[in-house]
Amino acid sequence: MLISALPVIDQPARRVGALLEHVNRQLRQHSVPALETLGVRPRHVLALTVLRDTGGSSQADLAGLLQMDRTNLVGLLNELETEGWVERRRSPEDRRRHLVELTAAGGELLSRIDFALAAIEDHVLSALDAAQREQLYELLRQAANLEAACTESPDC
Amino acid sequence: MLISALPVIDQPARRVGALLEHVNRQLRQHSVPALETLGVRPRHVLALTVLRDTGGSSQADLAGLLQMDRTNLVGLLNELETEGWVERRRSPEDRRRHLVELTAAGGELLSRIDFALAAIEDHVLSALDAAQREQLYELLRQAANLEAACTESPDC
DNA sequence: TAGATCGTTTGTGTTACGTCAATCATCTAC
DNA sequence: GTAGATGATTGACGTAACACAAACGATCTA
């Protein structure tokens, strides 16, 4: 009787994951047709974006950043290099490593992608005003930046 | 000469999409092993969460919310119903329709999922403090809510 | 009653992975 | 100089999660 009268902690979880996935899906569904006209796939955009934001990366690091198997990354980079969007060069410090960088063509492509995707984001995220959009961007950027450190830790 | 001296508008795009995808990937990579121990897949979580948040839904609406082909949704719901996590019942207003709802078992499972995923989010999103996490949650929730309306519009 | 809608089954195909094995080139430590 | 480790590559295999199409039965609407 007394035990059953105890207050029950029944807080709804403020779990971000499903919401992230949900919004991500919306964006992806709308983005794919636009990307197709540019001859690009979502996973291309992701790699190109990371390469731009990091200024270039070794393949091992890139695989970690993208949370992607290194074998599959080779395939992805083969596609990007074939299209002339990225360039692989041997690192002078360790010739086992490639330094992967955007080419000028890759940078231009990314600008076109940005333009197309900005319109889509305007639409999909129209429930948020400009300040909120900015806020969301900064929060995600901050969250993503720590993830970059996860390539250094086997526990990540 | 004068034209070349004009200021060039060269603002970096504040594009959320790739960041969203990036953080989403991180969360997913970490979540999958935990979900496996619960016998659950990411797409299960998504559907269960949407069903909880909407209080139930027709299949057509659910397909729209999840941005998912209705045929594939049938397969997904078959899995969920087989496990006893959801229940399909004919709508009294239109017997062509199913109303899909979480069962008690489904609700309990979701609580367990929430618990497991909360720890993972704490880790993956550790670059954000509690207030920022809350902020992110609210922004995403707001963004996601308008998306719900997209089931009503062929342009979405 | 005809046409539309909802859900279902079945089938096909694509994409994006994970994983593994083996290999070569290169590095590091002894 | 050598053994073992590392980085990238290729090829193979398998899985999951889709998109899409066709066809069908049940039900609704005009």
B79, B150: one domain: no
Q: Is residue B4 part of a domain?
A: no
Residue A41 CA to residue B34 CA, distance in Å, equals 29
Name the band, by pLDDT with cuts 50, 70 and 90, for residue B15.
confident
B82 and B153 housed in the same domain: no
Please tell me the predicted confidence (pLDDT) of residue B10: 46
What residues in B contact A145, CB-CB < 8 Å? 127
Residue ranges of chain A with per-residue pLDDT less than 70: 1-13, 146-156
pLDDT of residue A145: 76
Tokens 């400009």 belong to: A130
Same domain, B49 and B87: yes
**CA–C1' nearest nucleotide, residue A70:** D8
B100 and B154 belong to one structural domain: no
pLDDT in tens, B112-136: 999 999 999 999 999 999 999 999 9
Do B131 and B106 share a structural domain?
A: no
pLDDT given at position B47: 96
Nearest to B20 among A23, A114, A127 (CB): A23
Asked if residue A25 is part of any domain, the answer here is no
Q: How confident is the model at residue B152 (pLDDT cuts 50, 70, 90)?
A: very low
What's the confidence (pLDDT) of residue A12?
52
Decide if A112 is inside a domain: yes
Contacts of B93 (CB under 8 A, 6+ apart): none
Better-scored residue on pLDDT, B144 or B88: B88
Residue A1: predicted pLDDT: 33
> Are B48 and B99 within one domain?
yes
Within-domain flag for B143 = yes
> Do both B135 and B95 map to the same domain?
no
| B71 plus B140 within the same structural domain | no
| Torsions phi, psi for B29 (to 5 deg) | -55, -40
Is residue B14 a part of any domain in this protein?
no
Write the pLDDT tens digit of every residue in B45-58: 999 999 999 999 99
User: How many separate domains does chain B show?
Assistant: 2
Q: Give B62→chain A minimum CA distance, Å.
A: 12
Interface test with B, best of A24, A48, A150 (most B CBs within 10 A): A24
What is the residue whose two structure tokens read 């919306």?
Answer: A26
Are A69 and A76 a contacting pair, CB within 8 Å?
Answer: no
- Measured CA to C1', the nucleotide nearest B70 is C7
B118 touches chain A (CB under 8 A): yes
- Residue A86: phi and psi, rounded to 5, are -135, 165
- Tell me, yes or no, whether B45 lies in a domain: yes
Residue B42 shares a structural domain with residue B103: yes
Residue B141 lies in a domain: yes
Residues B107 and B154 in one domain: no
**3-state SS assignment for residue A115:** helix
pLDDT of residue A4: 33
Task: Give yes or no for a contact between B20 and A140, defined as CB atoms under 8 angstroms apart.
Answer: yes
Residue nearest to nucleotide C8 (CA to C1'): B74
- Shared domain check, B134 and B110: no
- Give me B155's structure tokens: 């342009």
Q: Answer yes or no: do B77 and B138 share one domain.
A: no
Residue A91 burial (CB count, 10 A): 11
Say which of A13, A27, A50 has its CB closest to residue B20: A27
Tokens describing residue B25? 């990937």
* Residue range of the domain that includes B146: 125-156
The DSSP code for A137 is: H
pLDDT in tens, B69-79: 999 999 999 99
A28-A30-A35 Cα angle (round to 5): 80
Query: What pLDDT, in 10s, does the model give residues B29-46?
Result: 899 999 999 999 999 999
- Looking up residue A83, the CATH number of its domain turns out to be 1.10.10.10
- Asked if residue B88 is part of any domain, the answer here is yes
ipTM > 0.85 for the complex: no
Closest CA to B72 of B33, B46, B37, B104: B46
